[in-house]
Structure formats: C-alpha cells, structure tokens
Amino acid sequence: MLKEVKRNFVMYEINGFIYTLTIDNPPLNVLTDELLSEIDDVINEILAQPICRVLIIRGNGEKAFVAGADINQFPTLNEESGKHLVEKGKEIFDKLENAPFPVICAINGFALGGGLELALACDIRIAEQKAKLGLPETRLGILPGYGGTQRLSRLIGPGKAKKMMFTGAAISAEEAINYGLVEEVVPNGESYEASVRLAKQIVNNAPLSISNVKAVVNRGLDVSLAEGQELETKYFASLCLTQDMKEGVKAFMEKRKADFSRR
C-alpha cells in the first residue's frame, strides 16, 4: 500500500494502479448525508488522479456492504428536500458509472436500498454467499431514488426488477447471480480478495482500451444496435492512433508483457 487517506466515514487506499474506497460507518454503513458528501469528495479526488486504473468499493465490517440510506432524515422530507436528497445521490453515483476506469463492488453482506443502488452504479459486483440484496423502498412509501429503478431494470430486465421493487424483498447471492445482478459469488469473507484478483487482471491490459470499452458499452445501451456499432467503429479507430496500441501489438509479437503508458 502506497498511500491511505481517511475521512470520518470513508477512506481510500492506493496500491499501484488499484484504488480501494472503504465505507466505514459500522455496523450497517448507512449512507448518511455526511457520508455521501465524503464519498463525493473522495471520488472527485480519485478522478483527478490519472494513475487510477481500477477502483474497488467495499464496506467495513462483516454485516453489511451498505444497508441503505439514513431513514432518520425521511420524516422531515417534503417535495423540495426529497428532490434535493435523491439528486445528490444520483450525481455521486453517476460519477462512478461514468468514471474512465472500471469500478468493482465487493458486497460482503447486506446491500439494501441506497446500498444496492451504489452497487448498481459499479461495473462489476462480487458478492459473498451470505449477501442479501434488495430495494425495500416501497415498504417505506417511497421508491428507489438513486437511480435504482433505471439501472436495475436495464441490468436484469423489467420483470425481475419490478418483482424486487414491488415486494421490497431481499434476494440471496445465489438468486442475484441467477438474475444477472452480480457477476460472481464467493465464500464469505472473500469478496475483497476476489475483487483485488480481478483488478490485477484488468490492470495488465491497456487502460485506454479499458476506458473506451466501458464508454462504448455504457453509451451503446441507450442507442440502437446500428448506432452502437458506429460508436464501436469510432472508438476503435481512435485507439489505432495511440502509443498503447503500438506497444500492445509490439509486445504480443515479441512475446513479452506490454508496458502501457495511457497515451
């Protein structure tokens, strides 16, 4: 570990090209307003550091990744303050979705409400066997407001997404992988280690290629197949001008590991 930066409820570590953001508000890592602000500050710091090639997000403790938003703030909400609350969360989570590097979520326990919405804003989700995932907002008379209604339905399909949101029931890690909600299920206590292993695989590849893959896939979800393929062609052609493309091809032909420079 080269560096560690600590806030009241959030910290991040730098280990080479891999960053880890840890949410530390035990026992449930509830997303209070202050904690959300700290996540925003940390994400902005990381985005300003071009060395980051993979970000891992995890929750501290054994019980929860993030068990939801701070319900104590709900009784005083009105239309205006409710709008401000969800727009703040959306803006923060959008930064993760649009980050120029992959974001991996290590789900070590409960991922409920805003916690699952945070996980949905990540590119890849790795869950432990004990994990429980759900959007219980309808039990509180509200709906998922940090992008959950949109990201979940796009990820697993509207039928399964509506079932989860209509019932408010949490599903198991096994159900989640069958739904396509998580990409991998690992033994309890191993979600972070599995995320690091995956991150190490990713950083071996060209960072500009990874960034462009993420952009093309994300943008392609909102356009037609033909338009998506046009985007693919555009991004492919732009990569042909990079030093990383030349280095990757040369390293392959010379049977050695490529030394990518993000240029």
Contact 127, 182 (CB under 8 A): yes
| Catalytic pick among 97, 117, 193, 254 | 117
Query: Distance between CA atoms of 159 and 242, rounded to whole angstroms?
Result: 43
Known active-site residue 117: yes
Three-state DSSP state, 258: coil
3-state secondary structure of 226: helix
Q: Has 137 been annotated as catalytic?
A: yes
From 38, 80, 137, 247, the catalytic residue: 137
Q: CA 47, 196, 203 angle in degrees (round to 5)? A: 60
Look-up of token digits 């600590």: 6
Residues belonging to the active site: 117, 137
